[in-house]
Amino acid sequence: MPAEAQTRLLRVLQDGAYTRVGGNRLLRSNVRIIAATHKNLPDLIAEGNFREDLYYRLNVVPLNLPPLRERNNDIPDLCQHFILRTVKDGFPTKKFSADAMDALMAWHWPGNIRELENLIWRLAVLVDDPVIEANHLGPMLIDVRGQAGVDDDTLTPGQSATLGQSAHFHIERFLDAHASDAMPTGIHDRIMAEVEKPLIEISLRYTGGNQLRAADMLGVNRNTLRKKIKQLGIDSGSIRRRVIRG
């Protein structure tokens, strides 16, 4: 928060007085302030970047909320909450299998609750089945800890693995699963198709089902996109109906 804004907020808290932007008439207000931050305010005070008097005005009833990875028992209730939000937007209701919920509760959630909410919306868009299974989560929960040279310390809150790191992890896991059998052949086309399909589906979702805009987003011409939609068996009409209904 800029220093000037801190001063104005402190004045409101102390005197209950403020002026509108561009105005000069003093107005009165009697409000309660709920403030949230992910910064360490005592450190900012020591650095001279946050007013100490404002800190004590705000810090009346402090609530320290631990990250989601430290309270995974909340995940089932949060999932239900976000599922209900998708239902209000026109998506069919869904449930999680026991294995899927175990996977969610075991995940370290570097992006915290926003990451969980984003995941639920992607599942609402991309999964047609009424029950979400663990295999539906595979491409969406990428555990890169100790994989592809990625370390927990390199991922800050809100940051997730890069596309390259995610791809490395899943391709390596696929090959490891076949290590005891004859090494699979011709996997390039198979892997490219499995990556290409969700990429096109998500692009259509982001563009409201508009194939011309999706083609532009992907950097291909519209005829190529239409050919890929048909080739990969993508129900673009269903995606568009979901967008309209939402």
pLDDT at 210: 87
State residue 64's pLDDT score.
87
What per-residue confidence (pLDDT) applies to 165?
A: 58
Residue 154: its pLDDT value, please? 37
Contact 37, 63 (CB under 8 A): no
What is the pLDDT at residue 222?
92
Indicate the domain borders of the chain: 3-58, 185-246
Amino acid 179: pLDDT: 56
Exposure letters 156-192 (e unless 16+ CB within 10 A, then b): eeeebbeeebbebbbeeeeeeeeeeeeeeeeeeeeee
- The domain defined by 185-246 folds into Arc Repressor Mutant, subunit A (1.10.10)
**Residue 208: per-residue pLDDT:** 81
Q: Which of 152, 148, 154, 185 is nearest to 167 (CA)?
A: 148
What single letter denotes the amino acid at residue 176? D
**CA 76 to chain CA centroid, nearest Å:** 17
The continuous run of DSSP H or E covering 18 comes out as strand 17-18
Confidence of residue 157 (pLDDT cuts 50, 70, 90): very low
161-191 tens-digit pLDDT = 456 656 666 676 667 666 555 666 777 887 7
With bands split at pLDDT 50, 70 and 90, how would you rate the model's confidence at 18? Answer: confident
pTM across the whole model: 0.49
pLDDT at residue 74 tops 90: yes
Q: Is the pLDDT of residue 49 over 90?
A: yes
Percent of the chain with pLDDT over 90: 30
Asked if the model's pLDDT at residue 218 lies above 80, the reply is yes
Return mean pLDDT, the chain: 80
What average pLDDT does this structure show over 212-220? 91
